[in-house]
Amino acid sequence: MSIAVAADHDVARRWHVRDVGLWMFLGTIAMLFAAFTSALIVRRSTGDWADVHLPLILWVNTAVLVISSATLERGRRLGVTDRRRAVPWVAATCVLGSLFFAGQIEAWRELSRLGFYLPTTPAASFFYVLTGVHVVHLVAALVCVGVLLGRTVSSRASREWPYAAGAVSTFWHFLTGVWIYLLAVLQAA
């Protein structure tokens, strides 16, 4: 019994270290988007700014991403007691995350159909760059969710699952938050 407790303590300590690393990493992402935002504010004041109409599908994408955060959170909570109960929720997150990715590509296509390409206006440039950089991060997070799904369906016992699920969901929720922030910035711009 005492050996098991010690092992649990080791696992908790290892994941505590990973949490520190994760939060520092999220801090760098926050600084990245803060820099983009301040660049947008400065660029907007230079006089030739023309608003770009945001594609309506972005609102659908936003809803999809928020729901995906909810499914992942639900899965994480259920999985703490019984990992198998988390499977459909983590799988749903994978599907919804992929849908969001596809939805963003559709948003870019819609904008280009309206004649707004990357260099057309500064607002369009920022739209493509901001959403593009966000999607790159989201794809990385989606890979993490996929790995988590693999661990969730795996039959091997793992004391680390709750920690892994916690780290992945923190990353995912963070990117959902960043997306809502970006949408507000783009809408305001």
Partner 1 sequence: MSHHDSFLRRYVFSTDHKIIGIQYILTGLAMAVVGGALAALIRLQLGWPSQQWPALGRLLPAGMPGGVMTPEFYMSLVTMHGTIMVFFFISYVLVSGFGNYLVPLQVGARDMAFPLLNMLSYWIALLAALVIVGSFFVEGGAAAAGWTAYPPLSAIASAMPGSGAGQTLWLLSMALFIASFTMSGLNIVATVFSVRAPGMWMMRMPLTVWSYFISAIMGLLAFPPLTAAAIMLLFDRHFGTSFFLPSGLIVAGRVLEHQGGSPLLWQHLFWFLGHPEVYVLILPALGIALDIFPVFSRKPVFGYRVSVYSLIAVGVLSMVVWGHHMFVSGMSPFSGEYFTLSTMLITIPMTIIGVNMLGSLWGARITLATPMLFALGIIALFGVGGFGGLFLGNATADMQLHDTYFVVGHFHLMIGGVTLLATFAAIYYWFPKMFGRFMNERLGKVHFWLTFLPFFLIFFMQHFLGLQGAPRRYYAFTTYEYLRETLVQNVAISHTAFLLIAGQVLFAVNFVWSLIAGRAASANPWQATTLEWETSSPPPHGNFVQVPIVHRWAYEYAAEGASEDYTPQTVPASRVAVTP
**Interface with partner 1 (CB under 8 A):** 13, 16-18, 20-21, 24-25, 27-29, 31-36, 38-39, 42-43, 46-49, 118-119, 122, 125, 129, 133
Closer CB to partner 1, residue 36 or residue 101? 36
Given a contact cutoff of 8 angstroms between Cβ atoms, the answer to whether 149 and 91 are in contact is: yes
Given a contact cutoff of 8 angstroms between Cβ atoms, the answer to whether 57 and 106 are in contact is: yes
User: Of 31, 99, 36, 29, which is closest to residue 63 (Cα–Cα)?
Assistant: 99
Closer CB to partner 1, residue 59 or residue 117? 117
Smallest gap from Cβ 7 to partner 1, in A, equals 17
Smallest gap from Cβ 81 to partner 1, in A, equals 27
Structure tokens at 91: 């799988």
Closer CB to partner 1, residue 88 or residue 177? 177
Cα separation of 124 and 58, whole Å?
14
Smallest gap from Cβ 136 to partner 1, in A, equals 10
Closer CB to partner 1, residue 23 or residue 59? 23
* 3-state percent breakdown (helix, strand, coil) of the chain, nearest 5: 85, 0, 15
